[in-house]
Amino acid sequence: MPPDDLPALLGGPPTRPQGPPAWPPPDPDILEALQAAYHDGSWGTYHGGRCDLLAEALRHYHGVEHILLCGSGTYAVELALRALQVGPGDEVLLAGYDYGGNFLAVHAVGAHPVLIDVAPNNWNLALDRLGEGLGKSVKAIIASHLHGGFVPMPALMACAADCGLGVIEDAAQCPGAKIEGKSAGTWGDIGILSFGGSKLLSAGRGGALLTARAVLQQRARTQLARGNIVCPLSELQAAVLLPQLRKLEARNRLRLQNARALCRALADIPGLVPFRNLEVTAGEPGFYKVGFQFDAQAFGLSRARFVEALRAEGIAFDQGFAGLFVGRSPKRFRRGSPLTEAQRAHDGTVVLHHPVLLAPEEEVAQVARAVAKVHAHREKFALAGGDSTFSQTTN
How far are the Cα atoms of 161, 170, 310, 355, 395 from residue 293, in angstroms, in the given order?
32, 21, 16, 20, 24
pLDDT band at 279 (very low <50, low <70, confident <90, very high): low
Measured distance CA(87)–CA(103) in Å, rounded:
14
Helix ranges (H only) for the chain are 28-40, 50-62, 73-83, 100-108, 130-133, 153-163, 214-224, 235-265, 296-299, 303-312, 340-348, 361-376, 378-383, 388-394
Domain boundary among 245, 260, 288: 245
Q: How would you classify the pairing of strands 190-194 and 207-211?
A: antiparallel
User: Considering the domain boundaries, does residue 22 fall inside one?
Assistant: no
Pair 122, 190 in one domain: yes
Domain boundary among 245, 262, 284: 245
Measured distance CA(395)–CA(391) in Å, rounded:
6
The pLDDT, as a whole number, for residue 395 is 27
Domain boundary among 226, 245, 264: 245
Pair 150, 49 in one domain: yes
Pair 198, 297 in one domain: no
User: Considering the domain boundaries, does residue 304 fall inside one?
Assistant: yes
Question: With contact defined as beta carbons under 8 Å apart, do 371 and 310 qualify?
Answer: yes
The pLDDT, as a whole number, for residue 49 is 95
User: Considering the domain boundaries, does residue 19 fall inside one?
Assistant: no
Pair 228, 315 in one domain: no
The pLDDT, as a whole number, for residue 390 is 47
| pLDDT tens, position by position, 334-382 | 999 999 999 999 999 999 999 999 999 999 999 999 999 999 999 998 7
Pair 236, 253 in one domain: no
Pair 282, 332 in one domain: yes
**392 has a pLDDT exceeding 90:** no
Mean pLDDT throughout 32-48?
Answer: 94
Pair 261, 336 in one domain: yes
The pLDDT, as a whole number, for residue 218 is 97
**Torsions phi, psi for 29 (to 5 deg):** -70, -35
**387 has a pLDDT exceeding 80:** no
**95 has a pLDDT exceeding 70:** yes
| pLDDT tens, position by position, 169-206 | 999 999 999 999 999 999 999 999 999 999 999 999 99
Pair 195, 139 in one domain: yes
Q: Range of 177's domain?
A: 28-245
Pair 236, 303 in one domain: no
The CATH number that applies at residue 380 is: 3.90.1150.10
Pair 154, 172 in one domain: yes
Mean pLDDT throughout 312-327?
Answer: 98
**208 has a pLDDT exceeding 60:** yes
| pLDDT tens, position by position, 283-310 | 899 999 999 999 999 999 999 999 999 9
Of 208-217, 219-228, 261-270, 273-282, least confident by mean pLDDT is 273-282
Contacts of 52 (CB under 8 A, 6+ apart): none
Q: What is the pTM of this model?
A: 0.95
Residue 77: closest CA among 214, 171, 215? 171
| pLDDT tens, position by position, 243-260 | 999 999 999 999 999 999
The CATH number that applies at residue 68 is: 3.40.640.10
Counted domains in the chain: 2
Residue 165: closest CA among 74, 86, 66? 86
Pair 220, 266 in one domain: no
The pLDDT, as a whole number, for residue 381 is 86
